[in-house]
């Protein structure tokens, strides 16, 4: 079901312009309007899902399959591409700015503009085990 205020739903409906890379019954892939690098592609489900909580697993798996194919294809182009990043932000705190699930596929190379800043310090095993237990319990629920 489409969301009338969603730019990605407008693109899927053909009411907003896009540069399409791939389309099938479930998904649409198109060039990002503000790319990290040339070849930056967005993959969206055709149906509107605001975030991962609402996204059916089979549709999520399909998006990653399409991303895999596009990532391989980008490497075969003459575009500068020495690696590929796949990124999905779920929620405002994660940096999601359009609340329609979308997966980014973009070429990477040394010196490109993409950066992830985080506290990469190693954690202690008991802390990791406790966190793993919380996630395992949520998987069951």
Known catalytic residues?
Answer: 102
Contact in structure between 15 and 49 (CB atoms under 8 Å) = no
Other beta carbons less than 10 A from residue 137's beta carbon: 9
H or E stretch including 42?
A: strand 41-45
d(CA 35, CA 24): 23
- Say which residue the tokens 């479930």 belong to: 26
d(CA 85, CA 88): 10
Beta bridge partners of 43: 29, 103
The two structure tokens encoding residue 103: 């997966």
Counting every residue written for the chain, the total comes to: 141
């Amino acid at each position: 079901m489409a969301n009338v205020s969603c730019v990605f739903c407008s693109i899927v409906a053909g009411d907003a312009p896009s540069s399409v890379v791939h389309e099938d019954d479930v998904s649409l892939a198109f060039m990002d309007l503000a790319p990290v690098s040339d070849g930056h592609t967005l993959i969206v489900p055709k149906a509107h899902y605001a975030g991962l909580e609402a996204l059916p697993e089979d549709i999520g798996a399909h998006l990653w399959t399409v991303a895999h194919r596009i990532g391989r294809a980008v490497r075969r182009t003459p575009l500068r591409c020495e690696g590929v990043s796949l990124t999905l932000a779920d929620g405002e705190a994660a940096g999601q700015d359009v609340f329609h699930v979308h997966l980014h596929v973009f070429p990477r190379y040394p010196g490109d503009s993409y950066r992830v800043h985080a506290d990469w310090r190693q954690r202690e095993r008991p802390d990791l085990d406790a966190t793993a237990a919380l996630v395992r319990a949520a998987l069951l629920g």
